[in-house]
Amino acid sequence: MGRRILFSGVCATVLLAALVFAGQVEAAGPREFGLSVGVDLTQQNAYYVSQYTPNTLGGQFDSARLAVGGYADLAKVFLPQMRLVLATDAIIESDLKIFSAVGEVRYLFAQRGKSNGYAGGGIGVHFLRPDAGQNDTRISLNIPVGFQRKLSESMGWFGEMRFVIADQQADSSFRFSLGLTFGSGD
């Protein structure tokens, strides 16, 4: 229970620091927040291609988990199309819970009116099973690719694919998410 309180305190501190930082860089660009829900696909068991199945490519997903999260677009970085984004995710399966914090840079492309695409990269910190007393912390490379569309001046929706690349196969995943955005974004 103590670790859960500590984890909540750390998350609240990071979120507060992000909001303070966003207020200081407001002149660099407006902010946008998003909430998402999706599925996180992983390959828990290794799959080997043998000499008896030469036309088979290795790999299949054998685990699908619920993924909920959010992000904050904090500022423009270097170029008007490049954004600094902080994101958090919670991956939930029956006995597995993963909480992650991700810092990434996204590049907005194909901007047409109310729609745009984006791709980026960043580093994630994953806290595995913090509530079960097995607090493993892992680092991963995150590569998001997505599409956003504005519904109104301050609200929109997005769809995203995220590749999470970790040092172990069981910690890597392929995530699909849909969500809502709040804020002006441009």
Structural domains of the chain ordered from first start? 2-183 (2.40.160.20)
What digits encode the pLDDT tens for the residues 28-63? 444 789 999 999 888 765 555 555 555 555 556 667
**Residue 79 contacts residue 98 (beta carbons within 8 Å):** no
CA nearest neighbour of 35 among 125, 144, 155: 155
pLDDT at residue 176, as a whole number: 94
pLDDT at residue 23, as a whole number: 47
Ranges of the chain with pLDDT below 70: 1-30, 44-62, 129-135, 185-186
Phi-psi region for residue 5, left (φ > 0), alpha (ψ -120 to 50) or beta? alpha
CA distance 135 to 127: 6
pLDDT at residue 59, as a whole number: 58
Q: What angle do CA 122, 20, 33 make, to 5 degrees?
A: 55
What is the model's pTM? 0.72
Alpha-carbon distance values, 59 to 5, 42, 63, 88 (Å): 38, 10, 12, 27
Is residue 123 classed as helix, strand or coil in its secondary structure?
strand
In the chain, DSSP finds a helix count (H) and a strand count (E) of 1, 8
- The radius of gyration computed from the CA coordinates of the chain, to the nearest angstrom, equals 18
pLDDT at residue 9, as a whole number: 45
Q: Determine phi and psi for 21, rounding to 5 degrees.
A: -60, -40
Find the Cα–Cα–Cα–Cα dihedral 128, 31, 145, 36, rounded to 10°.
50
CA distance 70 to 14: 13
